Structures are given as structure tokens and as C-alpha cells.
Amino acid sequence: MSLITGAGRSGLDPIGKWSLILAPILFIVGGIMTAPFGSYHTGLVGEIAAAGETAKLGLTIGIVGVVLYVRSILGLTSITPESGNALARMRIASAGAVALLAIQTIQTGLAMGIAGGDLTIGGAFLGVQTAGTIVALFTLIPLGGGLAAGGLVSKYFGWVLLALAVVGLITVLAIGLDTETGGLLNGVLQGVWGIVILVIGIMMINGDGD
């Protein structure tokens, strides 16, 4: 069974396809440069401050990754069939992705300040981080549903994204990003999320080996 349809293989424009591949790579690389994996709460603030200029570079790379991620979601939305409710779900996902970009931009600005030595904005940064994570996870719900119903890729990819959203929201709302367990789970979920998006992009470029 093919994991990608003809529409998914040839319908998305080249920029959209490469955005699917580059977005998770840049986001993960940027995150590694900004702070060690699993950093959380005040420890995260301290790690960003300690990284200094390296963190600033990582933050810049990371926000570029977010921009490309938004571009890829908008591209997928543009080729989603209008039948059923798949397109409606993808439009909601696109709106959520744009909102996420706005929040991530604010978060990046605050993190830049922390990397520059201003630790007084650490609390604001952590608050924006939590808000951005919640928005990102809620955006995964219509994205996963749209991909599952739209027929661009195998519905299993949509289900995986839906599962990530559920586990992620439990992590943020029940466990909290201010705990070691929450920080580790959030990092793992982001990694899996990135891999799923990366695989979709690779398959769209390679045509699933066809």
C-alpha cells in the first residue's frame, strides 16, 4: 500500500515540499544549539543565557524552521480536496500555524533577550513557551484530521499526529513543562513530530519510490 497518493506526490509545489523537509531539520538543529535536550523551566532559562551567542544563532535557525513549517501547512491546505471536511480542517490548521508563528516570534524575541543576559524576562518567556506549545498541539488536531481525511498521504500519518496532540496536551496540562518529566516528554514528542513531517516531505519529493 502506497503511503502517498498521486495528488500528494505531484500536487504540492517544490517550495512546499522542501519546506516539509527543511522545517523539522532547522527546528531541531536550532533547538539543540539553543539549550540541551530536556532542559525545562528555570533550568532552560539558565541554559539559554549560558549559551549566549550560540543560542542566538540557534534561535534564528529555529524561527526560520517555524516559518517553513507554516509554509508547508499552507501548501498542503492549497491542494487538499474540497470534498468532505478535510479542507475545512486544513484551513483551521493553517490558521493555527499562522498563530503559532506569531507566538513563536514573540518567544524567540524573549529568548534572544535571555541569551543576551537579561534573566528578568525569564518568567515571561516560560509563559509564552507554554502558550505556544498548547497552540502547536491544538493545531495538530485539525492537521492530523485533515491529512487523514484528505487523501494526500496515508491516513496513518494523520493518526500519528492526532496521537501526538493528545499525549502532548496531557503532558502540558497534567504534567507541566515545569517538571523534568514534562520537559523530557515534550522534547521527545517534538522529535517524533519533526520526523513525521520530514518523512512526508521526503516521500512527496521521491514519489514513495515510484
Tens-place pLDDT, residues 135-152: 999 999 999 999 888 888
- pLDDT of 4 over the 70 cut: no
Structural contact between residues 94 and 73, judged by C-beta atoms closer than 8 angstroms: yes
- pLDDT of 1 over the 50 cut: no
Any idea of the CA torsion for 140, 142, 144, 149, to the nearest 10 degrees? -170
The residue type at 127: G
C-alpha dist (Å) from residue 40 to 96, 138, 178, 180 = 25, 21, 6, 7
Mean pLDDT across the stretch 99-126?
Answer: 96
What's the distance, CA 173 to chain centroid? 18
pLDDT digits (tens, 9 = 90+) for 45-71: 999 999 999 999 999 999 999 999 999
Domains of the chain by residue range: 6-209
Task: Name the phi and psi angles at 12, rounded to 5.
Answer: -75, 135
- pLDDT of 9 over the 70 cut: no
